Structure 1
Amino acid sequence: MGKVYFVNGFLDAGKTTFIQDLLEEDYFEIKGKTLLIQCEEGEVEYDDYLLNHLKVTVKKIENEEDFGTEHIVEFEIEVMPERIIVEFNGMWDRKNLVFPEHWDDIMEIVIIDASTFEIFAANMKSFMSEHVRKAYLTIFNNCDDVMDKMASYRRSVKAVNPSLNIVCKDKHGEDILQKFEDDLPYSLDDEVIDVRDDKFSVFYLDSLDNLDRYLGKKIVFTAQIMKAKEEGKDIFLAGRFAMTCCEQDISLFGIICHHSGTDSVENDDWVEITGTVDKEYVKQYDVEFPVCIVESIRPCDKPKREVISVI
């Protein structure tokens, strides 16, 4: 089976427009047929001439219970496509969705209307989280009037899926190239950057995306100790638990620390750490992660709020 493009998002976020624009791109052209499974209809309709010209067959699924392996395989047998595009219904359950076993190359893409993100995030946070949890790419549409909030929106989805790729577009569908350096709750120019409490979630997520701008910077943060079972290693994990969706959806935001005095701390201890940010290559994930070269560590009281929020 060829590639499957699974496009998710709430109604009127721009899924149909995205798919139609994608089909028109030269790099997306194929010789065979495309099966387009449409699970909801918004204000924008597909251009019939365009679909016929590009050999796209549209099959509709109107009820959530009908989005199952047997029904999908029937479509495949009828159309014999080279690839499949799914325009999913954003109000259907993504969390427990089961794909056909032969779908071994799935790219999940989430379309979000930035102008209504706050409303959906506040009232349907669990749905929003499941949209982005396994996605490769998120596209924020209509960012023009909310660019001052995009850094916060970006962190919200990154907290659920740190490896998520994010693209911002204006109301005309053009890419907005934007750096988010100025929307941090601390200054990168401070002699010691204070990332205690909720600011630690901002530092953690931003350092995963922009590691180079933290290299050599001194930070201070409060965290809980999580030591490895092996004795004699001058290394431990220090982190905070963060609520990324709801009370049932807690993630660990942790940074690897190098310190010669690990015998002075134990598992679950709360400490205040001051150290310098460095980077370390992790072969398993083929990526460089931030680490902290600890300069000082001192015991401290447990915070009143152990679980931090994602700002």
Structure 2
Amino acid sequence: METAVDIFTGFLDSGKTSLIIDAVEHSDFDEYRQTVLILCEEGEEAFDPALLKKANIIPLVLEEEEQFNKEFLMGIWRNYHPDHVLIEYNGTWEMSTILETEMPQGWMITGIYSTVDATTAELYLTNMRTMFLEQVFQSDLVIVNRCTDETDWAKIRRSIKVMNAKAQIVFERENGEAFEQGEEALPFDITKDLIEVDDIDYGLWYIDALEHPEHYRGKKIRFLAQVYKGKKLAQNEFVPGRFVMTCCEEDIKFLGFLCKCREEIPYEKRSWVTVTVTYETVMTRDGEAPMLELDEIELAYRPKNDVVTFY
């Protein structure tokens, strides 16, 4: 028998319990015979015992991170034989604990869902950035709730997307209604056939190209980049990209898209080049993904600031 495991992450009082309640009250929940709910922290909102009984959910409380281990999960399997497990994870525990713990045979993580309180998101991004982003690093869905007209949604979205490109991000107001984000103003003209991306705007272009391939498909893009070559790439492939910092030095990572060329380029790894590429997309197992085709490449000087930001 297979057991579906759904994980809910986020800081205390970010809305995890409300999200789980919404899932339990959904009509699709009736397909499960026996559900175990693992509670790794206690927030302001509690679960109604009547709701749990009606949905045939057995709640179990886990107080210490060290208790989340193979033996604990095997005990759940032996005692309850669930076909569904819900885990309300503690926002201060490391995600590696839950993702690397061996689960009983037949258990499979079917979804990771994260909640973010928009009223405290910027504070966490400034002071507890690593812990904040760890909660959403593997998420399939991120719900940013309690948004107001003052919420810097673009900053929150960029910070999450640069760490987890596949995540679907939903913004909601305090009452649960959808928060309309509008279009983020871009510092380059996407209506032109040749789009020239200034040095400081690379990070913004990367995220937009990732989220909105329709803006660039079939168009030529010119930008300053560093060359990345890896053992898994073919001789006629490389990645032109930049090191991008989302907030602080701990968050610096190399961002770029795979680029195919007619022949191997005569430049070493980490060389600075100016490239003109044609933006296309290909289908992968994770969906549509950008693919660049090299039109021109020339050696360039290292810029004064070799790390770019989103701001």
TM-score by length of structure 2 reads 0.87
User: What does residue range 118-129 of structure 1 map to in structure 2 within 5 Å?
Assistant: 118-129=122-133
Residues 7 and 109, structure 2, Cα contact 8 Å, conserved in 1: no
**298-307 or 112-121: bigger deviation:** 298-307
User: What does residue range 211-226 of structure 1 map to in structure 2 within 5 Å?
Assistant: 211-226=213-228
**Unpaired runs of at least 5, structure 2:** none
Cα distance in structure 1, aligned partners of 2:34 and 2:231: 54
Residues 259 and 291, structure 2, Cα contact 8 Å, conserved in 1: no
Cα distance in structure 2, aligned partners of 1:164 and 1:83: 23
| Paired position in structure 2 for 1:19 | 20
Structure 1 residue 233: deviation in Å?
Answer: 5.7
Structure 1 residue 120: deviation in Å?
Answer: 0.8
| Paired position in structure 1 for 2:136 | 132
Cα distance in structure 2, aligned partners of 1:256 and 1:232: 11
From 199, 203, 206, give the equivalent of 1:204: 206
- Cα gap change, 1:126/1:231 in structure 2, threshold over 3 Å: closer, same or farther? closer
| Paired position in structure 2 for 1:255 | 257
Residues 217 and 281, structure 2, Cα contact 8 Å, conserved in 1: no
Residue-by-residue CA offset, 1:69-109 (whole Å, 9 max, x unaligned) = 21233233333322000001101111344333333234111
Residues 208 and 290, structure 1, Cα contact 8 Å, conserved in 2: no
Residues 151 and 183, structure 1, Cα contact 8 Å, conserved in 2: no
| Paired position in structure 2 for 1:270 | 272
Cα distance in structure 2, aligned partners of 1:34 and 1:232: 47
Cα distance in structure 1, aligned partners of 2:97 and 2:251: 15
Amino acid at match of 1:61: L
Residues 197 and 221, structure 1, Cα contact 8 Å, conserved in 2: yes
- Cα gap change, 1:246/1:2 in structure 2, threshold over 3 Å: closer, same or farther? farther
**240-249 or 203-212: bigger deviation:** 240-249
- Cα gap change, 1:214/1:112 in structure 2, threshold over 3 Å: closer, same or farther? same
Cα distance in structure 2, aligned partners of 1:164 and 1:304: 33
Amino acid at match of 2:174: K
From 176, 179, 184, give the equivalent of 2:179: 176
Structure 1 residue 273: deviation in Å?
Answer: 2.2
| Paired position in structure 1 for 2:309 | 309
Residues 129 and 245, structure 1, Cα contact 8 Å, conserved in 2: no
SS of the residue corresponding to residue 44 of structure 1 reads coil
| Paired position in structure 1 for 2:300 | 300
Residues 153 and 181, structure 2, Cα contact 8 Å, conserved in 1: no
**Unpaired runs of at least 5, structure 1:** none
SS of the residue corresponding to residue 303 of structure 2 reads coil
**194-203 or 240-249: bigger deviation:** 240-249
| Paired position in structure 1 for 2:71 | 70
Cα distance in structure 2, aligned partners of 1:68 and 1:228: 36
- Cα gap change, 1:303/1:134 in structure 2, threshold over 3 Å: closer, same or farther? same
- Cα gap change, 1:26/1:233 in structure 2, threshold over 3 Å: closer, same or farther? same
SS of the residue corresponding to residue 102 of structure 2 reads coil
Cα distance in structure 2, aligned partners of 1:37 and 1:228: 42
- Cα gap change, 1:285/1:300 in structure 2, threshold over 3 Å: closer, same or farther? same
Residue-by-residue CA offset, 1:98-131 (whole Å, 9 max, x unaligned) = 3333332341111101121100111111112211
